Amino acid sequence: MSDAAMKLVVVGAAGRMGQTLIRLIDSMEGVTLHAAVARPGSPFVGKDAGEIAGLGPNGVIIGDDPLAAFLHADGLLDFTTPGTTNEFAALAAQARIVHVIGTTGCSDADNAKIAAASRHARIVKSGNMSLGVNLLSVFVEQAARALDAADWDIEILEMHHKRKVDAPSGTALLLGEAAAKGRNIDLSSQSVRVRDGHTGARETGTVGFATLRGGSVIGEHSVLFAGEGEIVSMSHSAADRSIFARGAIKAALWARDKKPGFYSMLDVLGLSSH
Ligand SMILES: NC(=O)C1=CN([C@@H]2O[C@H](COP(=O)(O)OP(=O)(O)OC[C@H]3O[C@@H](n4cnc5c(N)ncnc54)[C@H](OP(=O)(O)O)[C@@H]3O)[C@@H](O)[C@H]2O)C=CC1
Ligand SMILES: O=C(O)C1=N[C@H](C(=O)O)C[C@H](O)C1
């Protein structure tokens, strides 16, 4: 592996995660901010990325041409929107660079395009890049395997800030997938994502989701295993977005010497069971 600092591009540079990433890259050894990209037409294009992130000027001017930014880079950190991430996955594959994807709310069609790009690019994608949530997902899988579906109902509760646009959160879905793996069921056909009105009694074996939005909450997740007379609950609370940014940068460094492919944070953290 190269000893030179990994040259990273931050896309969505003026966003909540974009700014957090720019601040963290500045404070870390082994990585450098190669370029910063915003949406074409964004008022932040032409501004200094360090200044926007609250660091003071760092000489990296925010651009709107992703391919030019990716050309001499080693990787890109992408917390944007599903459509943008799709587009960038194809460009990253063209540039043969690492693509770390934190964007949530991707449809099956988006995920298929991203998987196609991973034939040429090293892609790490996760609904949550933090160590804590990924460890929690391992525990959830184990608990779901141990606690019989006939006696233990699984409900996943999440709360985020009022500006979040997708639901359930990527993390809630990641935890749901972990529970489904433990139960050996297909989440898409066994999940109840909304309840309203006369719903009838709860169907045994399903995984329920509940979504709360408000204020500035960074990310709260609980998985409840509800039995007769007792509840087992497992939770994660995010106090700072730097936990996601740290995970994303770790993922980029990890993927640097890997073959093209589609990887998860469980692979990065060595928590994968396969
Ligand atoms: N996996 C994880 O660990 C985490 C995932 N996330 C996810 O990351 C995503 C972003 O979250 P957050 O930072 O809070 O959202 P923000 O809305 O603050 O940031 C998204 C940024 O992407 C920019 N953007 C949109 N289109 C383009 C484009 N074509 N080119 C370049 N930039 C573009 C937006 O610009 P503009 O506003 O001008 O449109 C905005 O600045 C969400 O999907 C969120 O769920 C968030 C935290 C952790
Ligand atoms: O939009 C957010 O803010 C977050 N999104 C991710 C998700 O959808 O789970 C991760 C984190 O919870 C913050």
Q: What are 220-248's pLDDT values in tens digits?
A: 999 999 999 999 999 999 999 999 999 99
Q: Determine phi and psi for 12, rounding to 5 degrees.
A: 65, 40
14 known member of a binding site: yes
Q: According to the model, what pLDDT value does residue 273 have?
A: 79
Query: Is 166 found in the same domain as 139?
Result: yes
159 is in an annotated binding site: no
154 with 222, same domain: the answer is: yes
Question: Cα separation of 32 and 50, whole Å?
Answer: 12
Residue 274 pLDDT: 66
Specify whether 215 is located in the same domain as 257.
Answer: no
Task: Indicate if 162 belongs to the active site.
Answer: no
Of 143, 157, 171, 137, whose CA–CA distance to 227 is shortest? 143
- Structural domains of the chain, count: 2
Determine the residue of 161, 169, 193, 241 to mutate for testing ligand 2's pocket, defined as the one with the most ligand atoms within 8 A of the Cβ atom: 169
Query: For residue 1, what pLDDT is reported?
Result: 58
| Residue at 112 is within a domain | yes
49 within ligand 1 shell (Cβ under 6 A): no
pTM of the entire predicted model:
0.98
Is residue 233 included in any domain, yes or no? yes
Q: Does the CB atom of residue 82 touch ligand 1 within 6 A?
A: no
Asked whether residue 116 falls in the same domain as residue 18, the answer is: yes
Determine whether the shortest distance from the Cβ of 20 to ligand 1 is under 6 A. no
The dihedral of CA 104, 81, 113, 97: what is its sign?
negative
Same domain for 115 and 247? yes
* Domain carrying residue 60: 6-125+241-269
Q: Domain with 213 in it: what CATH number?
A: 3.30.360.10
Residues 214 and 135 in one domain: yes
Q: For residue 88, what are the CA distances in angstroms to 39, 70, 169?
A: 12, 9, 22
Summarised one tens digit per residue, pLDDT across range 177-202 is: 999 999 999 999 999 999 999 999 99
Q: Which of 34, 125, 164, 221 is catalytic?
A: 164
Q: How far is the CA of 84 from the centre of ligand 2 (A)?
A: 17
Residue ranges, the chain, pLDDT below 50: none
Å from CA of 246 to ligand 2 middle: 14
> What residues does ligand 2 touch, defined as CB less than 6 Å away?
104, 127-128, 160, 164, 169-171, 219
β-strands 153-160, 219-227 pairing: antiparallel
User: Does one domain contain both 63 and 136?
Assistant: no
Query: Binding residue per annotation — 12?
Result: yes
Is 251 part of any domain?
yes
User: Which of 80, 114, 128, 237 is the best mutation target for the ligand 1 pocket, counting ligand atoms within 8 Å of the beta carbon and taking the most?
Assistant: 80
Average pLDDT value over all residues in the chain: 97
Claim to verify: residue 60 and residue 83 sit in the same structural domain: yes
**Can 164 be counted among the known catalytic residues?**
yes
User: Residue 274 falls within a domain, yes or no?
Assistant: no
Q: Is 137 a pocket residue for ligand 1 (Cβ < 6 Å)?
A: no
Please determine, for the modelled complex, whether the ipTM score is greater than 0.95: yes
| 93 and 155 fall within a common domain | no
Give the span between the Cα atoms of 219 and 211, in whole angstroms: 11
Ligand 1 pocket test, pick from 9, 11, 17 with the greatest ligand atom count within 8 Å of Cβ, gives 17
Residue 150 sits in the same domain as residue 81: no
What CATH number is attached to the domain comprising 36? 3.40.50.720
Both 158 and 209 in a single domain?
yes
State whether 196 and 212 are in the same domain: yes
Residue 1, in any domain of the structure = no
